[in-house]
Structure 1
Amino acid sequence: MSVTSPVGAPEHAPPVGGPLARLGAAMSDHFRWVVTAWLAVVVLLGAAAPSVFSSLAGAGWQANGSESVAVRELAEQHFGGAGSSALQVVVHSDTAAVDSPEMTAAIAAVTGVLADDARISAVVPPQPGVSISPDGHTAVVLGGAAADPDEMVRAATDLADPLAEIAGDGIEVYPTGASALWSDFNAANHDAMIKAEMISWPVTLAIMVLAFGSLVAAGLPLLLTMAGLVASAGALVLINEIVPISVWAMNFAMMFALALGIDYALFLVVRFRDALRGGASRRMAVAETMDTAGKAVLLSGLTVLVSLSAVLLVPAPAVRTMAVGIMLAVVFVLAATLTLLPAVLGKLGERVNAAALPYARRQQAHSPWFGAWGKVVDRRPWPLALGALAVLALLALPVLGMKVAMPSIQVVPEDAPVRQGYALVQERLGDGVPGTLQIVASTADAEETARIASATEGIAAVTPPMPTSGGAAGLDSVADGTDRVLLQAIPTVDPSDPALAGTLDALRADLPDSAVVGGAPAENLDLQQALNDYLPIVMAVILVLGFVLLLVALRAPVIAFLGTVVSLLSTAAAFGVATLIFQDGHLSGLLGFDPQGFLDGWGPVFFFAMIFAIAMDYTVFLLSTVKEHVERTGDARGAQIEGMARSGRVIFAAAAVMVGVFFSFALAEPLPPKEMGVILGVAVLLDAVLVRLVLLPALLRLTGRAAWWTPRWLDRVLPRISFTHG
């Protein structure tokens, strides 16, 4: 570009500022190259993006290295695939018995469908006393797993329609079991996420138009979001070719790309407009924007990535890959914010205000309303701080009684085939049959294992020992040379009943040393235990790394500590509200769900990381603005007021967008997305309103200059980072 600035300086004058200012100016200078590069990235990765939901893994909800995973692997390798991933098909008729011609034909048809799929190792017909109901009207056909759990979920999806076609003339056919559960849940979850996105996009666009005041400016976050989404979707598909990635990773990536893309764009666009109003040229306005707001955005992005990286410590593939999905989306959105957005802003210049609403033309970066609120906080810091603390503490109290467990069958809609099959099995065969435990023991201990298991409280029945797939016991030994058998222990209670955990512990404590206990419910309980064990580790890592990042950026240990600690308050309050709603059932009628009596077990670990990342996002926006004025004027008290005036509207608008996005997921039918939307939405609402706009400014006022104090030894160690341009 060869356009001259409003004050006559050449557009290509050397920028004043640090590395980010120079990066912004370079992006502005090379608009065509930047746009071409991003188009190439979007096209190349976008070619794989359309298959993201069909390609990604459907399972992965397990604790790697656990006893239950070992049992599943032994069952799949040496017992005809009769592990927890096996497909179970329920065939039922109210009028015809299992030995009737029509039921016999239906069972034969089911057997044929299963046998024709290479992912099924062997088909076990219904067995009297085991998989045929006492009244003879319900039978279960077992298809052994010849593939990994993720592929078995795909098999359940692929075979759903052929199996459904067998039903008719009074005969019902329903796939059930863990693989079918994840298949139906993923389908319902995908539909719910799409519906939520369709609701959130119009709401988001309306909030953006109000926040930006211009249709052109409001479209910029969509540019970042789409580029980040397409690139991250394609990248997930490619990574999935190497390491299985949970389909949930894309669901969270969609949500975070939209929320953070808008946050980052809003912060940069507001600062860019302010620089233009100050008389800067397009290029210099971009440089100033990147040198100030760009640093805050970069620090915010790094904080999000650091928080989510702690989740990678949890030895659960689904949880880890959900974090990977969000991290990829953040990386691409952050890259677009720091490269593509400056290029577009430099090209647009004053046209960023095109199609502006009347009030936007008069809008200044310094908000009179938030400036006035900053003065209120300055005059009454103690009452406001104590009031905010009291509200957050009151909302957090229910956390003391919070219960967590892995999702039950209620996470899928009532009309889902897997839930109908599940209900039939419980009604006709017993409450505990869907949660059958599997025991693998040495042949020598088979009799003793069966005796102890049968006598264990909470076990209704134990099936006869099943030899390895080679035939009689002893003909085919497991890898370590020990002959083993497989027994099925049927509990007396539903798989989601808390009593089952005690039964599992008793079996593992009392059975012979050669015996290991697994099965689908044991996998859930082992995963829940791993999540509980790693929660304090993940929290500690996130808090320490978050503090270190703030310390490096702000060079002030007091405010870095306070900024980190207050982020815990909105998290605790959000989980307190979630306990009241999803565990105790308050507002369940309004939100349209049946409470499980607990929160989903992966929520505390995963949502803590997400909420803390978002909270630190707003912390960075506020404190970086305040620090800029502290550096410029040395007046800590005045900087708090000015920081509120300049960042309050951005924080409020960004939070409104995030709340709109998250609460749209509260309308989803499956329970986990609903739980996710409410917890994150409440967390953002509380954090933005009570923590960032009340409590943290009040703490800045109370600590005064001490908030920005740096010990001499620390001053020598830390890098010098300034948020002031020039």
Structure 2
Amino acid sequence: MPLPDALLDTEAPHAASPGMLGRAGAAMVTHRKWVFGVWLLALIALGSAAPTVFTSLAGAGWQANGSESVQVRELAQQHFGGNSSAAVQVVVHSDTASIGDAAVQQTLADVAAVFDGDSRFGDVVMPQPGMTISPDSHTGILIAGANASTDEMVKAVDDVKDELTALSTDGIEVYPTGSSALWSDFNVANHDAMIAAELISWPVTLAIMVLAFGSLVAAGLPLLLTVAGLVASAGGLVLLNEVTPISVWAMNFAMMFALALGIDYALFIVARFRDALRHGDPRAAVAETMDTAGKAVVLSGLTVLVSLSAVLLVPAPAVRTMAVGIMMAVTFVLVATMTLLPAVLGALGPKVNAASLPYAKRQHHRSPKFAAWGEVLHKHPWPFAVVSVGILIALALPVLGLKVAMPSITVVPEDAPVRQGYELVQAQFGDGAPGALQIVVPSADAESTAATASTVDGISMVTPPQQAQDGSDYALLQAIPAVDPSDESMGTILQDLRAELPRSALVGGAPAENLDLQQALNDYLPIVIGIILVLGFVLLLVALQAPLIALLGTVVSLLSTAAAFGVAKLIFQDGHGSSLLGFTPQGFLDGWGPVFFFAMIFAIAMDYTVFLLATAKEHYERSGDPKAAQVDGLAHSGRVIFAAAAVMVAVFFTFALSDPLPPKEMGIILGVAVLLDAFLIRLILLPVLLRLSGHGAWWSPAWLRRVLPSISFSH
């Protein structure tokens, strides 16, 4: 039986009473002065803390809580004057003078004076012959113990490193190095890179917004939303840091996601509002918009939050707090989208189209070009399905050979003091000298432990046992590897050392902390992936009430994610295009990438899935016709997905210009993921799957419909 014309006309207004989100949106319009007032007060309160975000947040936290290496660091800090992996090593070198010369001794005394009176530093140990003085006596390492947490030690190095490097003269060089100094220099380089990328991405974003909306006023709304989310997130992270240390990386990722998702959500809402405005007054248009596009935005936001929440299982403070930063940004952007944006749209009304470009006045929400594209896909589904799946599988195959490891010293610029000091130590003391393994053992087992450690393959030297200073029954030994701390064989050396030493001996040090963290990330990766996939499927199932399309939406998101990591393997592990991108490949992907980037990429992929499928379901509910769902779903969401993807790709690829490798990895991997997902998945493969599955895409058994909450996207 043919459907009534009113149902077939997807552009016709609908008289259905607004749902919960529609009523909430209308209330935001009615009480917009209150909404503006509350947001103004919130932004003033949080904004007052926001400027200190990069100086307030923590700098380290790269550890596996509860691991053997963390136990060693805590014992060394407690019983050995802070001579742990977090201690600061100051390299003093002269080409002409020896360590015993008066000028060098004076420089060492000046270095020691920098640490005096600062409670964050423990015992200061001058260079020792046979241990921290080079064979030619031209290089010495002064050690300032760590008397605070790893995060506080990074801040402590931030405070003193300029004073230390200023002690260099024409004949004497001074370089602070060690783990704490590494994170200090890296955080500075990373912060500078993030700010530079943001400065480039904002004007590019505005240009894309103007082209997408054709109106300066409409184009400015996503940026308004983003600024509100950013300011609130920055202030919120500063306040949260007073309760628990938050990694400075949390703000970096929050900046990126607030910009990307804020624009995504605003695009979807504003585009729908401009269409609904043709059917009624601004308040009714807001109600219709929030009842349709608003539901998709809420679902998208929940999907992002759920994906990132799985990362909180990983027992690494830095990784957890990065997830917290993004979740906070997404939450603020989502709240602003559901409260501030409707109030602004209601206040603007038809003025949302002010300052329009000529072509925009002829632009409709239903794109004829994407409708035509939908017709092409409907007529010829198989060729497009085979080609898109073939490309994605081909790109995903390299992921089978992906290697991961924690970043090496090459992640900081060549002129960074920590890298200069590191390379000087290697040149004077041996490749493994910057990454000494520390062994804490009961005093009774110290001599036998030293003898055994010296026989382990890959250990070039073991220092004599050092007794605990507080009288406790512990001894500390340093085992110097024969290879660079980031060498692939370090894992085997650590494993052999732990296997052959007495059970009472604990092995740690900076290389061991990296390897223990890498092992924890590897162990939790399948758990995180499993949770994200299951929860992503459940959210789609609840929203769409259709198990087949919810499953297909989840699987294709996984496919695009695998393809993005395959490309990452080719670029960052194998080095393809490295000269063009301006970096030296490490031979692996940074170890935190798979866990964290999987959550981020999958969240973004599901973002587009929700936009497309929610729109398609809206048209299926209206017409009962799977072709209308596929073609009109693409016609009404294609332009938004295209514009949102263009913005995200532009935002992410600006980070490819960064000098530090991790932001470059992040930008390129996320940019490639969005590129593949938006164009091969959302604009080709998923519409083709809707075409091939027909009514089955939207079928749901009666028992499931009774169990699931009733959610409708039609208005």
Tell me the TM-score range normalised by the shorter chain: over 0.9
CA distance in 2, matches of 1:168, 1:324: 44
Match of 1:86 in 2: 87
- d(CA) in 2 for partners of 1:467, 1:115: 24
The amino acid across from 1:57 in the alignment is A
Q: Give the Cα–Cα distance (whole angstroms) in 1 for the partners of residues 83 and 418 of structure 2.
A: 18
Query: What corresponds to 1:156 in structure 2?
Result: 157
For 1:413, the aligned partner's letter is P
SS at 2:339 equivalent: helix
Q: State the Cα deviation string for residues 585-614 of structure 1 (Å, max 9, x = none).
A: 111111111110100000000000000000
Q: Which residue of 512, 515, 534 maps to 2:524?
A: 534
Q: Distance in 2 between matches of 1:563 and 1:371?
A: 21
- The equivalent of 1:423 in structure 2 is 423
Counterpart residue identity of residue 36, structure 1: G
Report what 2:440 is aligned to.
440
Distance in 1 of aligned mates of 2:16 and 2:439: 70
CA-based RMSD of the aligned residues comes to 0.8
Superposition map of 1:678-717 within 5 A:
678-717=668-707
Q: Deviations over 1:515-540 (max 9, x none)?
A: 00000000000000000000000000
The separation in 2 between residues aligned to 1:644 and 1:190, in whole angstroms, is 39
One-letter identity of the residue aligned with 1:330? V
For 1:132, the aligned partner's letter is: I
2-side partners of 1:638 and 1:202: how far apart?
37
Contact 1:398–1:576 at 8 Å: present in 2 too? yes
1:359 correspondence with 2:349: no
Asked whether the equivalents of residues 200 and 660 of structure 1 are also in contact (C-alpha less than 8 Å), the reply is: yes
* Distance in 2 of aligned mates of 1:620 and 1:413: 41
Measured against aligned partners, the alpha-carbon deviations of 1:605-636 in whole angstroms (never above 9, x if no partner) come to: 00000000000000000000000011111001
Report the residue type matching 1:164 in the other structure.
Answer: T
Once the two structures are TM-superposed, the CA of residue 169 in structure 1 deviates from its matched residue by 2.5
Instruction: Detail structure 1 runs of 4+ shifted over 2 Å in the superposition.
Output: none
After superposition, what is the alpha-carbon deviation per residue over 1:102-134, rounded to whole angstroms, capped at 9, x for unaligned? 111111111111233221111000001110110
Distance 2:265 2:380 in 1: 31
Residue 11 of structure 2 corresponds to which residue in structure 1? none
Residue of structure 2 in register with 1:165 after alignment: 166
Distance 2:290 2:40 in 1: 22
What is the percent sequence identity of the aligned residues? 72
Between the aligned partners of 2:495 and 2:505, the Cα distance in structure 1 is 13
Pair 1:321 & 2:307 matched: no
Letter in 2 for 1:378: H
Q: Does the CA-based 8 Å contact 1:457-1:503 persist in structure 2? A: yes
The match for 2:554 among 559, 564, 578 is: 564
C-alpha displacement of 1:637: 1.7
- Residue in structure 2 matched with residue 607 of structure 1 by the alignment: 597
> Match of 1:88, SS?
strand
Where does residue 67 of structure 1 map in the other structure? 68
| 1:7 corresponds to | none
Secondary structure of the residue aligned to 1:82 is coil
- The one-letter code of the counterpart of 2:286 is V
Of 481, 484, 497, which residue of structure 2 is paired with 1:494?
A: 484
1-side partners of 2:112 and 2:28: how far apart?
A: 62
Are the counterparts in 2 of residues 622 and 692 from structure 1 also a CA contact under 8 Å?
yes
Could you give the per-residue CA deviations for residues 163-187 of structure 1, whole angstroms, max 9, x where no partner exists?
A: 1121113110000000000000000
What is the DSSP-based 3-state SS (H/G/I as helix, E as strand, rest coil) of the residue aligned with 2:356?
coil
Is the counterpart of residue 137 in structure 1 residue 138 in structure 2? yes
| 1:455 alignment partner in structure 2 | 455
Corresponding residue for residue 119 of structure 2: 118
TM-score of the pair, normalised by structure 1: 0.96
Partner of 2:544: 554
Question: Which letter maps to 2:295?
Answer: K
Q: How far has the Cα of 1:398 moved from its partner?
A: 1.0
Write the letter of the residue equivalent to 2:698. Answer: W
Q: Does structure 2 conserve the Cα–Cα contact (< 8 Å) formed by 1:15 and 1:25?
A: no
Structure 2 Cα separation of the partners of residues 688 and 641 of structure 1 = 17
Match of 1:10 in 2: none
Provide Cα deviations, 1:265-320, integer angstroms capped at 9, x if missing partner. Answer: 0000110011112x211100000000000000000000000000000000000000
C-alpha deviation, 1:161, in angstroms: 1.2
| Equivalent residue, structure 1, for 2:581 | 591
State the AA in 2 paired with 1:616.
M
| C-alpha separation in 2, matches of 1:425 and 1:501 | 22
Is 2:666 the partner of 1:665?
no
Alignment correspondent of 2:502:
512
d(CA) in 2 for partners of 1:161 and 1:707?
Answer: 63
Q: Is the 8 A contact 1:15 1:287 kept in 2?
A: no
2:454 is paired with a residue of what secondary structure?
helix
The answer on whether the counterparts of 1:440 and 1:486 sit within 8 Å (CA) in structure 2 is yes
Give the structure 2 partner of residue 386 of structure 1: 386
Aligned partner of residue 641 in structure 1, secondary structure:
helix
Q: Does 1:257 align with 2:247?
A: no
Q: Which amino acid aligns with 2:562?
A: A
The 3-state SS of whatever aligns with 1:175 is: strand
Q: Which residue number corresponds to residue 8 of structure 2?
A: none
Q: SS of the residue aligned with 2:144?
A: strand
Question: Is the CA contact (8 Å cut-off) linking 1:659 and 1:684 kept in structure 2?
Answer: yes
Matched, 1:578 2:568: yes
Q: Following the alignment from structure 2 to structure 1, what is the Cα–Cα distance between the partners of residues 601 and 305?
A: 12
2: distance between equivalents of 1:487 and 1:164? 29
Q: Write the distance in 2 (CA, Å) between the matches of 1:267 and 1:304.
A: 16
Q: Quote the offset at 1:212 in angstroms.
A: 1.1
Match in the other structure for 2:640: 650
- Indicate conservation of the 8 Å contact 1:16/1:287, yes or no: no
Q: Is contact 1:115–1:122 with CA below 8 Å preserved after alignment?
A: no
Secondary structure of 2:598's aligned partner: helix
Match of 1:485 in 2: 475
Deviation at 1:416, TM superposition (A): 0.3
Question: In the aligned structure 1, how far is the partner of 2:235 from the partner of 2:116?
Answer: 34
Q: How many residues were matched structurally?
A: 701
Q: Which amino acid aligns with 2:225?
A: L
Corresponding residue for 1:345?
Answer: 345
Q: Distance in 1 between matches of 2:97 and 2:393?
A: 60
Correspondence for 1:47: 48
User: In the aligned structure 1, how far is the partner of 2:210 from the partner of 2:428?
Assistant: 57
Give the drift of 1:15. Answer: 8.8
Structure 1: gaps spanning 5 or more residues: 1-13, 471-475, 478-482
Alignment-derived partner of residue 200 in structure 1: 201
Aligned to 1:480: none
Q: Which sits farther off after the overlay, 300-309 or 568-577?
A: 568-577
Q: Output the CA distance in 2 between the equivalents of 1:413 and 1:446.
A: 40
Residue 239 (1) aligns with residue 240 (2) = yes
Displacement after TM superposition at 1:59 (Å): 0.3
SS in 2 for 1:455: coil
What amino acid does structure 2 have at the position aligned with 1:117?
D
How far 1:16 moved relative to its partner? Answer: 2.3
Instruction: Label 1:57 to 1:15 Cα distance change in 2 as closer, same or farther (>3 A).
Output: farther
Could you tell me the TM-score, scaled by structure 2's length? Answer: 0.97
Aligned to 2:39: 38
Distance (whole Å) between structure 2 residues aligned to residue 569 and residue 367 of structure 1: 28
Task: Give, in whole Å, the separation in 1 of the partners of 2:434 and 2:162.
Answer: 22
Aligned position for 2:3: none
